[in-house]
Amino acid sequence: MTHPIHPVLLCGGSGTRLWPLSRKSYPKQFVRLVGEESLFQASARRLSGEGFAPPAIVTGSDFRFIVLEQLAGVEIAPGDVLIEPEAKNTAAAICAAALTLEARAPGSVMLVAPSDHVIPDAERFREAVRAATPAALDGDLVTFGIRPDRPETGYGWLKLSQEPDAEFSAAPQPLKAFVEKPDRATAEALLADGMHLWNAGIFLFTTTAILEAFARHAPDTLAATRAAVEGAERDLGFTRLAPAPWSDLEDISIDYAVMERSENLAVVPYAGRWSDLGDWHAVWREGDADPAGVVTTGQATAIGCTNTLLHATSEAQEIVGIGLENIVAVAMPDAVLIAHKDQAQDVKTAVAALKSRDVPQAETLPRDFRPWGWYESLVVGQRFQVKRIHVHPGAALSLQSHHHRAEHWIVVAGTAQVTVNDETKLVTENQSVYIPLGAVHRMENPGKVPLTLIEVQTGSYLGEDDIIRYDDVYARGQGAKG
C-alpha cells in the first residue's frame, strides 16, 4: 500500500448476548472465544503489518489498561488510545478518531472496525482493504459487505447496484441502499435475489471525506466531538476526551448519522468467513463441531446430543449434557446459562432481568481485572472475605489504606515487596504479613515471574470502595477502580 492504512478499533460495548462469559466488567472482545487469542487481539493482529499504521483504539476508562495489556500480549504498540467519558455509539467514536488523526496526519486513510468480529482469513481481508483503498482515496465512504449464507434477521443488509461477478471479487461498486434488519420473509427474499450483502459495520475512508460527511449530515455531532477532542487531557499514555461536550452528543450509530444520508457510498463484497459472534448460536457455528453438530469447550462431555454447544470455563467444574438437541449450555463458577439455540438473542433479556434484581452476576465476573493484574473472591462471609490476587511482574498496587478492614497476605508463588507504614520488606513463598486496619500499605512484584497470594480480609465493611489512594502509578484517582 502506497498510502498507509490507519486502523481504528472500536472497543466499547457490553456484549450482553454472550452472557455469562461476556459481562459489562469484561466484555466479549477481551475473551478467548475462538482460538488462542481474544477477539480484540485477533482484530489488532489482522489490521497490522506491512502497510498498516499502529492502531488507534476508542474505548472506555475501565478498559484502558486491559487494552494495553492485550496489545502487549501480541506485541503490537498502539497509536492513539481515546477514552470516551461515556458510551455514545459509533458516530461519536468514529468522529473523535477522525478528528484526532486529521490533526496529526491530514487526509489519512482510516479503516474503522469493531474489535469483536471473527475473520479467520486475515490476508484475504487485507486484500479486500487494498482493493477498496483507491475508492477511499477518491473520496468514497467505503463499507464492506459479507456474502450471506442464510436469511439472517440479526444483521442489517446492503443493497448492491450490480450483481457480484462469478468469483465474488473484492471490487468496489456504488452502494445502492442500506436495509434495516429484516423479518424472516424479507431476509429470505434478500438472500434469494443475489443483490444483497450483510452489513459488517467495517468502513474505509479518508479523514477528509468522513469529516466533510459529518459537517454536511451531522454538524451537531461534529461540533460537540470537536470540542471534546480540543478539550481532551493526556493521562499517562491515554487521551481522555472532555466529558462536558461529550455528554451533549446524541447516542447514534454512524449508519444513521452519516452513511445512510450520503451519496458517495461504495461497497466491497467480501466472500471470506466472517462473524460478529453476536450470540451463542454464532459461537456454535464457529466451533469445531463433531458429526452430530456438537461443539464442546473445556471440561465438557456430550452424550447423545445433537446440534448443541457445551461451554465450560473452569478446570474444576464439569458440564455434562445428555440427550440435548439445539441447546446452548454455558457453565461458569458463578453462573450457568441454558437456552435453546433459536432463542440465543434473548440472553440480553435475561441479563436485564438479573440487573432489575441487582444480581451482581449480571454485570461483573468473579475475576476483577486491574492494571496490575487481577483478583477473584474465593469465599465471602459475615465480616470476612478470602481472595486470590495475581500481580504481574514489575507491577504495583497503589499506596493505600482502609477505614473498615484489616488484611492478611500469604504469598504462595513469587516474591512480594510489601510496605506497611514506614517499613518495607520482601515476603517470599509461604511467608505472610499482617496489614492492620488504617495502616498505609502497598504491594509490589519486583520479580520476573507473576506473584500470587491469598488475601484474608476481616472487618465491618469489605466493599472495594473502602480505599484511600495516596500514590498510584496508574493515576486512577479515588474510588473502587479510579
Asked if 477 and 467 touch (Cβ cutoff 8 Å), the reply is no
The dihedral formed by the CA atoms of 359, 362, 365 and 369, expressed in degrees to the nearest 10: -110
Tell me, yes or no, if the two domains 5-270 and 367-471 fold the same way.
Answer: no
Place of cell 440472553: 347
Of 480 and 385, the structure prediction assigns the larger pLDDT to: 385
DSSP summary character for residue 19: T
Phi, psi of 177 (to 5 degrees): -170, 155
Please list, in sequence order, all residues whose beta carbon lies within 8 angstroms of the beta carbon of residue 161, skipping any fewer than 6 positions away. 173, 174, 175, 176
Q: Report residue 338 CA to chain centroid gap.
A: 24
Phi, psi of 133 (to 5 degrees): -60, -45
Tens-digit pLDDT profile for residues 398-432 = 999 999 999 999 999 999 999 999 999 999 999 99
Which residues in 58-76 are b (16+ Cβ under 10 Å) and which e? bbbbebbbbbbebbeeeeb
Q: Which of 261-265, 399-403, 475-479 has the lowest mean pLDDT?
A: 475-479
Handedness of CA 463, 465, 470, 472 (dihedral sign): positive
Grid cell listed for 389 = 490476587
Is the pLDDT at 453 greater than 90? The verdict is yes
Rounded to whole angstroms, how far apart are CA atoms 64 and 239?
10
Tens-digit pLDDT profile for residues 82-131 = 999 999 999 999 999 999 999 999 999 999 999 999 999 999 999 999 99
DSSP summary character for residue 29: G
What ranges in 207-343 are assigned the alpha helix state H?
207-217, 219-230, 243-247, 254-257, 280-286
Tens-digit pLDDT profile for residues 319-373 = 999 999 999 999 999 999 999 999 998 999 999 999 999 999 999 888 889 999 9
Name beta bridge partners: 6.
Answer: 110
pLDDT of residue 218: 97
Asked if 37 and 75 touch (Cβ cutoff 8 Å), the reply is no
Rounded to whole angstroms, how far apart are CA atoms 386 and 458?
9
DSSP summary character for residue 105: S
CATH code given to domain 367-471? 2.60.120.10
Tens-digit pLDDT profile for residues 295-318 = 999 999 999 999 999 999 988 899
Rounded to whole angstroms, how far apart are CA atoms 433 and 420?
9
Rounded to whole angstroms, how far apart are CA atoms 179 and 158?
6
Tens-digit pLDDT profile for residues 56-94 = 999 999 899 999 999 999 999 999 999 999 999 999 999
Domain chopping of the chain, boundaries:
5-270, 280-356, 367-471
CATH topology for 5-270 is Spore Coat Polysaccharide Biosynthesis Protein SpsA; Chain A (3.90.550)
